[in-house]
Structure 1
């Protein structure tokens, strides 16, 4: 797999671990039974919000319209953003385009070919919406937006690169977003989503790892 790992520190003190790669090197992967990413052999970062007791995936995680955790109609499979319409990052490989679409189900995603895309649900980051991103994140029921926590996210730029980003620095969503805008993409970023955070904010990039609190997570945004 071809990717570039970097560690950078923003002016607000947030330390970002980033993986830059092609969207065609990315796929959604279930971790049945749960696993910390430090124990995985696959590189990538944590993915969906999940139910701690059951491991059910609470946000979309699909490859070519197939949810990673079960069938399209089953709860926790990764085919739906449970309870709320939420910002979902979509790579339409047929069209060669990224988008962030606010939907409740993968069935509602606008793609050219339903067998040629991947999608990961999260919370809209609104990189092009300084005045309204926080209100939109609240509308999508973002957990702990203003609290101090570890964070994870996905962002893309005008050249169709994607960055997988994790910080194990405790920070607000605004501080994480600001650090990304300052240090990632050299001013070319278009948009992105927040992923599950807190102790779930984990990355594996070869021997480099951002550990979160080492808890088990149940899906990841993985690299081929």
Structure 2
């Protein structure tokens, strides 16, 4: 009888302790869940915002530091990839036609291979480059990685597209269309771009409305990093214009793209 009483008392203590621990666990889980939901899945160190220009163009913008950018071969839709970011450069079938290189390695194959991301195929085109040594961002016209000006050929990323020339109102169209062969500039299509400001912040931009290249460029100038915007490049567009930022999903026409520009959280 003595031992039974002790056992019952011990069980009561255990039961009370379990209730306390369970309550604490539920409270912690609730706090963590609220924090996760409040982030809406947006990576640490990134910001998402939406702007509607006076010309009706709706911009979806993901802002982050260049050190958070990753250039990935996905061969899928950006939304299905599960990675925050937007579509990258031009492609044909499974061949990447725009430069997409990180630290000396192309996103879609091996260095100097056709379709790997080592070349802006056929044309020297606007390519955004981040130098990890100097921590500087700029846009360079290049046909291949060998044309880029780099401090260290193993410490950089480069994303090819078409020059937007934000500071050249009279000449930008000729460069983009005649020289760099921007596809369908005057058609109303979904558009994508990559821009940077004077502080080196990166802006990944996708429209959810169809527009011409000029309308898109104007909307970016008037709504992204106003007064501080430096330069930008057009990326692939139309059905390839895709974005995933937390709960925001733009699938384009649901097509598969070869490469995307991912945004990872800060360490």
TM-score when scaled to structure 1? 0.96
Match of 2:218 in 1: 178
Q: Aligned partners of 2:85 and 2:46: how far apart in 1?
A: 10
Gaps of 5+ in 1: none
**Quick check: which has more Rg, 1 or 2?**
2
1:179 deviation in Å? Answer: 0.3
Among 91, 103, 106, the residue aligned to 1:64: 103
Match of 2:167 in 1: 128
1:209 deviation in Å? Answer: 1.2
Conserved in 2, the CA contact under 8 Å of 1:156 and 1:162?
A: yes
1:73 deviation in Å? Answer: 2.2
Q: Aligned partners of 1:65 and 1:193: how far apart in 2?
A: 21
**Secondary structure in structure 1 of the residue aligned to 2:166:** coil
1:142 deviation in Å? Answer: 0.6
Conserved in 2, the CA contact under 8 Å of 1:17 and 1:210?
A: no
Gaps of 5+ in 2: 1-43
Match of 1:147 in 2: 187
Higher relative contact order (CA 8 A, sep 6+): 1
* Equivalences for residues 29-68 of structure 1 within 5 A: 29-31=72-74, 34-52=75-93, 55-68=94-107
Match of 2:249 in 1: 209
Q: Aligned partners of 2:157 and 2:182: how far apart in 1?
A: 22
Conserved in 2, the CA contact under 8 Å of 1:168 and 1:211?
A: no
1:108 deviation in Å? Answer: 1.1
Conserved in 2, the CA contact under 8 Å of 1:50 and 1:58?
A: yes
Instruction: Kindly indicate whether residue 133 of structure 2 is the aligned counterpart of residue 90 of structure 1.
Output: no
- Higher relative helix content: 2
**Secondary structure in structure 2 of the residue aligned to 1:170:** coil
Instruction: Kindly indicate whether residue 230 of structure 2 is the aligned counterpart of residue 187 of structure 1.
Output: no
Instruction: Kindly indicate whether residue 56 of structure 2 is the aligned counterpart of residue 13 of structure 1.
Output: yes
Q: Aligned partners of 2:51 and 2:215: how far apart in 1?
A: 14
Instruction: Kindly indicate whether residue 168 of structure 2 is the aligned counterpart of residue 161 of structure 1.
Output: no
Q: Displaced runs of 4+ in structure 1, greater than 3 A?
A: none
1:168 deviation in Å? Answer: 2.2
**Secondary structure in structure 1 of the residue aligned to 2:167:** coil
Conserved in 2, the CA contact under 8 Å of 1:155 and 1:192?
A: yes
The alignment yields a C-alpha RMSD, in angstroms, of 0.8
Conserved in 2, the CA contact under 8 Å of 1:153 and 1:195?
A: yes
Among 57, 68, 78, the residue aligned to 1:25: 68
Instruction: Kindly indicate whether residue 117 of structure 2 is the aligned counterpart of residue 117 of structure 1.
Output: no
Q: Aligned partners of 1:168 and 1:197: how far apart in 2?
A: 11
